[in-house]
Structure 1
Amino acid sequence: MFAREVAHTIRLATSRRRFLLSTGWLAGIALSAGPISQTRPVQPPRGSYPFTLGIASGDPLESSVVLWTRLAPDPLAPDGGMPPRPIPVRWEVYADAHMQRVVRRGTAIARPEYAHSVHVDVQGLSPDREYYYRFMAGKEESPLGRTRTAPSRGSQINRLAFAFASCQEFHSYYPAYGHMAREDLHFVVHLGDYIYENVLRAPRGLSLPAEVALEPQELASYRIRHALYKSDPQLQAAHAAFPWIVTWDDHEVENNYASEYSEDYPSVSPEEFLVRRAAAYRAYWEHMPLRVPSPEGPSLRLYRQLSFGDLLKLHVLDTRQYRDRQTSCAGEAMVEGYCRSATDPTRTILGEEQLQWLMQSLDSSRATWNVLAQQIIFSQRDNLPGPGMNYVGNGDQWDGYKSDRDRLLDFLRTRRPSNPIIITGDVHRNYAYEVKADFADPNSQTLGAEYVGTSISSGGTPTKREMVLGGTQDDPHQVMYNNSRGYVRCRITREVWQADYRVVDTVSRPESPISTLITLTSEDGDPGIKL
């Protein structure tokens, strides 16, 4: 049924693409005004309690925020254990954690065609205010969540704090999220790989039925995979503590996919893959606190910008949906570390529309800090240690799309938006880079900073923790490298951007100590990075 719904849209999308080319969790949460704390997980997974996947909020604006939940008393069933009919879900927003002052309330309809998920765009809230919320279905109540609106656009803000994270493969645990939930943050940015599509082989020692463990291909199996991930109590705690701003990378659909091209192209045609992509995009939307409308077949515009007073403007990018296929450089000569296809000006990673939108948004910004929240490493990286250069050993990164990056670098150099900061995920490592006008020239102008956060869990616990400070012979613009697990906490004032690399000791167990590995800073008017 779902495939038939999207088939016409896929044909139109494929035709449009070719034309353009031819023309150029189960946790109960107790909240107080202070840190969040966890109570015993709600049990059992099969029962009448519908809020087994927790609650969330997201995309905060100055007078509104999106509230999310999904009714799923049997979360690993294809239908979540819900009847095939619409269900009314009541919601309330409070000014206090004791739920004494209701400021907004209403009823949303959880529809079976959207897996009984609920997205409520609550309007009429005050700027820069903390609120609390919950859902009710029948006689059941959800945990209490905490959220926060953005400061008014252009208002003078002196302090802001957020964390960014990515890559949370379910084979390992999420102790980092347990610690994140206790931080003093305004919001969280998730940079992709929220789920992984790989076959699950006894994750966390669990024996899973085949419909849960096998690689998802269609809508029902992607819904189950999201439900499995959202069953984690520490992930639920982090969602319940702060509004999240999310974007995807590749594993929400398939490893290293590019636009309508599967990793297995040409054995999987674009038409076949777009059916799968449509299912994955629908399931992603159903499980995220997104304001954007539900996907139209295999398309969903996820790039957007959010402002936080005059202090920060956040540009959320999508480097998957519009890109050309990755280059392998096979059979091509290498010139100064690049092959011809990597520098081809007709190849794109953002797509022309998104790139123009980004440059226009940066050009009009009056914020002190301008942030690009995106998935893959932007800065040049040499994949050939020692003599010689090879920057496209991993053609999936921005190095494989040098023309798009050069256009953006030229824009940053000539238009000079205030304090460009790039935050990145994907590589399961911590890095920091100074963004150079010409990466081939270490003495060229520094245009901004790139802070790369490691994975929440993907890659497991390192057998040996590694740390490199300062530039290397291959990458002199590198400031730091580390292979731990965790997230990055950013604390911002008008004068200083402070990035705290928060790392856990292990992801082999649900609980682990956390520490700040290193703090790096960027200063207003000085776009480099200081140790």
Structure 2
Amino acid sequence: MPHTRRSLFRGSLAASAVLALPSAPAALAATGPTAPSFARSGRPSAPWGVQSGEITPFSACVWTRSDRPARMSVETSPSESFRYAVRRHPGPYLGPATDFTGTATLHGLPPGQQIHYRVLLSDPEDPRRTGEPVYGTFRTTPVTRRSGVRFLWSGDLAGQGWGINPDRGGFRVFDEMRRRNPDFFLFSGDTVYADGPIQATVPLRDGSIWRNITTEEKAKVAETLAEFRGNFRYNLLDRNLRAFNAQVPVIAQWDDHEVRNNWYPGQLLDDPRYTVKEVDVLAARAGQAFSEYFPVTDLRGGRTEGRMYRVVRHGPLLDVFVLDMRTHRNANSPGRQTVDPVGILGAEQLAWLRRELARSRATWKVIASDMPLGIVVPDGATDFEAVAQGDPGAPLGRELQIAELLRFIKHRRITGTLWLTADVHYTAANHYAPERAAFTDFAPFWEFVSGPVGAGGFPHGRLDATFGPRQEFVRSAPLPNLSPAEHPPYYGEVEIDADSGELTVRLRAEGEGVLFARTLPPGQVGSH
């Protein structure tokens, strides 16, 4: 059962209304709805809401964006009313260099406790001029096993032209997920679609019209830093997402659509939509925008020493290994190499993952993979985008690197590994076992797929037999690119019981509840 928290706090819901979507009759002009305008007062405000992340037993990172230059500070309290034990945490100056975004790191927090916070923005030249506070909450991670863990994951938001539709109440799946009240949300890539313009109206197959909120930055593919930043701001126009962010900490990773579909380092584009042809230039700008719009301090300002891959620890029960299968990969190809030291992770990230998995003492080690392992994901007629390349025989190409990792996990007797992914726009449960595989030197494991959380639904892909996957469950769209009005968004839920250590995965669809569930025992190298 989910652990109990405070009731849904009033402050964040009030804050989420600051940038409420206009009502459908008011918003829908003949050409379709436009983004709501911001009423500027004489004091700084944060209409894009707040987010939290990097939660530890004793600290957390809080994000916001101001509508003008401002000084950020954060107040915390164990009380929703802020009537006692209020602490003030200084924050940075928010200015044009970071698109008026910033994060404050909160230190000295108590472990395993519900923390209420409010973000204050003040005029840099007159600290007495302070805007209305914006409220949020999170729970610090525990240091003991007295409480379990429950989190959600999904990916792919505002993709394939399906943006914020005021007729449907926006991204309403985030309201459903918020009511699940998880400890955190693993945003498994494609957090924006920088290569996916949003049109005011899109005709649906039944003759009805899908209407989108539109903005200038979403009218074309993103190339400039301002356009990439605008893609992140677009999603935050949705009241459901802002309310969700105020209540649920985020662990964000990126995949391709933060930059451009199926990109890889060094790629030169042959795409008439782009005047900037060097993907590395686009990726640098996208990376800076990503770092500015999520609470990930290691990436702030696009620092070269920052990296997307990292391990996030959540008490004794859980470590989350956040992978980056985009930045360090080799070029997409037919994947028939017999030697492939770069692969999809790069040598340095693979060494890091092996090292961190070996030193982890958590009961469960979730490998957050922005791409699936055994699902064939084509890139054009001859190349492949993910790990699998359709050849059911011995590992080739990027499969060699995954085979090395799976062999390492088996021989080091690393228990409790579980792979979670999104990317393919359907939901599935895949079990991998050596007795069904061409490569056999690994222990059985599960890979669970979810998403999209707000993009087009697609038919399911085929499996590559190299690692012996068996599809235990799948739910997918019958036709390509069905809208969220025609096929529901998907998200997954993971719950770890504090007493038994058992882990339960539930695959969910918006408005439909649990589609599939599987409970796994702890302490095994691999589990059926």
Query: Which TM class, normalised by the smaller chain length?
Result: 0.7 to 0.9
Aligned residue in 2 for 1:111:
95
Q: Does 1:374 align with 2:378?
A: no
Aligned residue in 2 for 1:315:
321
Correspondence for 2:77 among 87, 94, 100: 94
Residue deviations 1:494-514, cap 9 Å, x none? Answer: 43111111202xxxxxxxx34
State whether residues 35 and 181 of structure 1, in contact with CA within 8 Å, keep that contact through their aligned partners in structure 2.
no
2 CA distance for matches of 1:269 and 1:100?
Answer: 55
Aligned residue in 2 for 1:241:
247
1 CA distance for matches of 2:443 and 2:471?
Answer: 12
2 CA distance for matches of 1:150 and 1:292?
Answer: 19
| Cα RMSD, aligned residues only | 3.3
* Amino acid of the structure 1 residue aligned with 2:153: F
Correspondence for 1:193 among 190, 194, 219: 190
Residue deviations 1:35-55, cap 9 Å, x none? Answer: 357457325632226212110
1 CA distance for matches of 2:420 and 2:148?
Answer: 19
Q: Percent identity, aligned pairs only?
A: 25
Aligned residue in 2 for 1:45:
37
1 CA distance for matches of 2:440 and 2:388?
Answer: 20
State whether residues 93 and 105 of structure 1, in contact with CA within 8 Å, keep that contact through their aligned partners in structure 2.
yes
State whether residues 157 and 310 of structure 1, in contact with CA within 8 Å, keep that contact through their aligned partners in structure 2.
no
Correspondence for 2:120 among 136, 149, 162: 136
CA gap 1:499/1:211 in 2 versus in 1, 3 angstroms? closer
CA gap 1:179/1:475 in 2 versus in 1, 3 angstroms? same
Aligned residue in 1 for 2:283:
277
Residue deviations 1:423-466, cap 9 Å, x none? Answer: 11111111111233476259876432111112102115x8xx99
State whether residues 264 and 279 of structure 2, in contact with CA within 8 Å, keep that contact through their aligned partners in structure 1.
no
1:130 CA drift (Å): 1.1
Correspondence for 1:450 among 447, 452, 456: 447
2 CA distance for matches of 1:383 and 1:166?
Answer: 16
Q: Which moved more, 1:442-451 or 1:45-54?
A: 442-451
* Amino acid of the structure 2 residue aligned with 1:163: L
2 CA distance for matches of 1:211 and 1:275?
Answer: 18
State whether residues 433 and 467 of structure 2, in contact with CA within 8 Å, keep that contact through their aligned partners in structure 1.
no
- TM-score, L = length of structure 1: 0.78
CA gap 1:474/1:202 in 2 versus in 1, 3 angstroms? farther
What are structure 1's unaligned runs of at least 5 residues?
1-31, 73-81, 330-338, 385-391, 505-512
Aligned residue in 1 for 2:220:
214
1 CA distance for matches of 2:306 and 2:187?
Answer: 17
Aligned residue in 2 for 1:350:
345
Aligned residue in 1 for 2:260:
254
1:106 CA drift (Å): 3.1
2 CA distance for matches of 1:298 and 1:186?
Answer: 30
1:186 CA drift (Å): 1.3
Aligned residue in 2 for 1:422:
419
Q: Which moved more, 1:470-479 or 1:417-426?
A: 470-479
| 3-state SS in 2 of match to 1:502 | strand
CA gap 1:274/1:36 in 2 versus in 1, 3 angstroms? same
Alignment of 1:329-348 (within 5 A): 329=334, 340-341=336-337, 343-348=338-343
* Amino acid of the structure 1 residue aligned with 2:496: I
1:201 CA drift (Å): 1.6
Aligned residue in 1 for 2:519:
521
| 3-state SS in 1 of match to 2:297 | coil
2 CA distance for matches of 1:347 and 1:436?
Answer: 25
1:269 CA drift (Å): 11
* Amino acid of the structure 2 residue aligned with 1:58: G
1 CA distance for matches of 2:453 and 2:71?
Answer: 35
* Amino acid of the structure 2 residue aligned with 1:106: H
- TM-score, L = length of structure 2: 0.78
2 CA distance for matches of 1:224 and 1:267?
Answer: 18
1:267 CA drift (Å): 12
CA gap 1:529/1:415 in 2 versus in 1, 3 angstroms? closer
State whether residues 254 and 263 of structure 1, in contact with CA within 8 Å, keep that contact through their aligned partners in structure 2.
no
Residue deviations 1:360-390, cap 9 Å, x none? Answer: 1111111111111120002x24689xxxxxx
Correspondence for 1:290 among 273, 291, 296: 296
2 CA distance for matches of 1:267 and 1:457?
Answer: 24
State whether residues 278 and 299 of structure 1, in contact with CA within 8 Å, keep that contact through their aligned partners in structure 2.
no
Alignment of 1:15-54 (within 5 A): 33-35=6-8, 38=13, 41-43=17-19, 45-48=37-40, 50-54=45-49
* Amino acid of the structure 2 residue aligned with 1:239: N
CA gap 1:95/1:393 in 2 versus in 1, 3 angstroms? farther
* Amino acid of the structure 2 residue aligned with 1:48: R
| 3-state SS in 2 of match to 1:358 | helix
What are structure 2's unaligned runs of at least 5 residues?
20-35, 122-128, 164-169, 202-209, 390-397, 477-487
2 CA distance for matches of 1:473 and 1:415?
Answer: 22
Q: Does 1:147 align with 2:138?
A: yes
1:140 CA drift (Å): 2.0
2 CA distance for matches of 1:258 and 1:229?
Answer: 25
Q: Does 1:63 align with 2:54?
A: no
* Amino acid of the structure 1 residue aligned with 2:89: G
| 3-state SS in 1 of match to 2:344 | coil
CA gap 1:529/1:433 in 2 versus in 1, 3 angstroms? farther
State whether residues 45 and 52 of structure 1, in contact with CA within 8 Å, keep that contact through their aligned partners in structure 2.
no
1:166 CA drift (Å): 0.6
Q: Which moved more, 1:306-315 or 1:165-174?
A: 165-174
1:176 CA drift (Å): 1.5
1:279 CA drift (Å): 1.2
Alignment of 1:448-527 (within 5 A): 448-460=445-457, 477-483=470-476, 484-493=488-497, 494-504=500-510, 513-526=511-524
State whether residues 413 and 437 of structure 1, in contact with CA within 8 Å, keep that contact through their aligned partners in structure 2.
no
| 3-state SS in 2 of match to 1:119 | strand
